[in-house]
Amino acid sequence: MESTITEKILAAHCGKKIVEPGEFIEPKVDISLLNDVTAPLAIKEFEKTKDGKVFDKNKIVLVMDHFTPNKDILSAEHVKLVREFSKKQKVKHYYEGGNAGVEHALLPEKGIVCPGDVVVGADSHTCTYGALGAFATGVGSTDIAAAMVTGKVWFKVPNSIKFVLTGKLNKWVSGKDIILYIIGLIGVDGALYSSMEFDGPVCKKLTMADRFTIANMAVEAGGKNGIFTPDEITEKYVSKRAQRRYKFYKSDKNCRYLKIIEVDCSKISLQVATPFLPSNTKAVVDIKRTYINQVVIGSCTNGRIEDLRIAAAIIKKGKKVNPNVRTLIIPATPKVYSEALEEGLLKIFVDAGAIVSAPTCGPCLGGHMGILASGEKCVSTTNRNFVGRMGHVESQLFLANPAVAAASAIKGYITIPDEI
């Protein structure tokens, strides 16, 4: 029987020739991921087990990225708990302070996750790693606790929806616009518990940064995972980073899909998701003049060096951000920060009046480093704009790509780069 890329990866990790949608399975896990918010609960559950040892100290990853640098006593206590656990268990991959970055940018960068892997994380945007051709999905802290003990996870095989991306991308349009357009097209439950498989001629030209962005937001359409077929671009990225052997999988020609959706990318203009759902998408040119108080450029969705280069190309040397707009630039990892420093990007941002932060999830989840007050509006390159997501329940969050965010920071209202 022909199988999709997701089905092939899952079957291989179950020791089976095939698995079918709806089947309950218990695949072996290559990586179990936790952060400073989700790890404490998982650790408490883990410590109730008899054995008291993780199944493999090299396959557990702990990244302190959400509330770090510690914003208060509680977050400091959480990190302390995780730090002590990692030392006790001799966990190889523990990242804190100057070694830590936003987890879903850090793991691919360090080659910890690889094509063909099964990755589970106690964070919904674990689906990011599908950009590499891995099966990656978010699960609960208690599921991760079980995975840390057994090295396995239990769930149902998802159906697959294939998105065929055709046409040609318009100026400034990026992976963020593609996925926002798709979410707007199918809704926040349009791919509920399904594998979102991305294919087509446009996919073959997308950078890894754009692929990470698209896979990252699969969960915003209800997807179990998002996944790309690995190719030469994947190989170039992975070959110089991978810490272990990996395998490329691809879907069979006649495999079954729940549905196939063709997306003509030539019709996609710059997109913005208006409050309070990622599916509330509109073309930026159709947004009435909306003045803003803050811009955030960063996160696991758009905090990579490619994103900062785009933002810097808009702001450019000599330009200033609007004095009424707090503009936060958050490199996703220390490596991204270092590259941006060496390339002169950080100087462009600082000279323009922006604030450059240490790598952190920070404002994305309303944690710190950019909380919104009542009535304030923000354009952000993050992935969710729910009520109160970045602060006060009466604040508003608009999602966009780095080019739109940077242009809006300069003008003081939501706008397109060509107006700068």
pLDDT tens per residue across span 101-124:
999 999 999 999 999 999 999 999
Number of domain units in the chain: 2
Looking at the structure, do residues 74 and 103 belong to the same domain, yes or no? Answer: yes
Find the DSSP H helices in 269-419. Answer: 299-302, 305-315, 334-342, 345-351, 402-411
pTM across the whole model: 0.96
**Residue-level pLDDT at 69:** 86
Partners of residue 262 on adjacent β-strands: 164
Q: Residue 7: is its pLDDT beyond 80?
A: yes
**Residue-level pLDDT at 419:** 78
Looking at the structure, do residues 160 and 290 belong to the same domain, yes or no? Answer: no
pLDDT digits (tens, 9 = 90+) for 363-382: 999 999 999 999 999 999 99
**Residue-level pLDDT at 418:** 86
Looking at the structure, do residues 216 and 333 belong to the same domain, yes or no? Answer: no
Q: Residue 49: is its pLDDT beyond 90?
A: no
Domain boundary (228, 263, 298) is at 263
Q: What is the mean pLDDT of residues 390-394?
A: 97
Report the distance separating Cα 358 and Cα 300, nearest Å: 14
Looking at the structure, do residues 55 and 191 belong to the same domain, yes or no? Answer: yes
Q: 265 near 166, Cβ under 8 Å?
A: yes
Q: 169 near 263, Cβ under 8 Å?
A: no
SS3 61: strand
Looking at the structure, do residues 128 and 150 belong to the same domain, yes or no? Answer: yes
Q: Residue 161: is its pLDDT beyond 90?
A: yes
Domain boundary (209, 235, 263) is at 263
**Residue-level pLDDT at 252:** 96
Partners of residue 372 on adjacent β-strands: 391
Range of the domain at 11: 5-263
Q: Residue 51: is its pLDDT beyond 80?
A: no
Nearest CA among 198, 247, 193, 240 for reference residue 221: 193
Looking at the structure, do residues 216 and 245 belong to the same domain, yes or no? Answer: yes
Give φ, ψ of 127 to 5 degrees.
Answer: -60, -10
Looking at the structure, do residues 257 and 290 belong to the same domain, yes or no? Answer: no
Q: What percent of the chain has pLDDT over 70?
A: 100
**Residue-level pLDDT at 113:** 98
Report the distance separating Cα 347 and Cα 135, nearest Å: 38
What tokens appear for 413 in the block?
């209202």
Give φ, ψ of 203 to 5 degrees.
Answer: -60, -40
Give φ, ψ of 278 to 5 degrees.
Answer: -60, -15
Looking at the structure, do residues 242 and 152 belong to the same domain, yes or no? Answer: yes
Looking at the structure, do residues 379 and 301 belong to the same domain, yes or no? Answer: yes
pLDDT digits (tens, 9 = 90+) for 192-225: 999 999 999 999 999 999 999 999 999 999 999 9
Peptide bond into 349 cis (omega under 30): no
**Residue-level pLDDT at 390:** 97
Q: 231 near 250, Cβ under 8 Å?
A: no
Q: What is the mean pLDDT of residues 181-191?
A: 97
Q: Residue 167: is its pLDDT beyond 90?
A: yes
Looking at the structure, do residues 353 and 407 belong to the same domain, yes or no? Answer: yes
CATH code, domain carrying 287: 3.30.499.10
Please provide the DSSP assignment of 117-155 as one string. Answer: -EEEESSGGGGGGGGGT-EEEE--HHHHHHHHHHSB--E
pLDDT digits (tens, 9 = 90+) for 287-302: 999 999 999 999 999 9
Q: Residue 1: is its pLDDT beyond 90?
A: no
Q: Residue 36: is its pLDDT beyond 90?
A: yes
Partners of residue 253 on adjacent β-strands: none
| Average pLDDT of every residue of the chain | 96
Looking at the structure, do residues 282 and 398 belong to the same domain, yes or no? Answer: yes
Domain boundary (215, 237, 263) is at 263
Looking at the structure, do residues 247 and 281 belong to the same domain, yes or no? Answer: no
pLDDT band at residue 168 using 50, 70 and 90 as cut-offs: very high
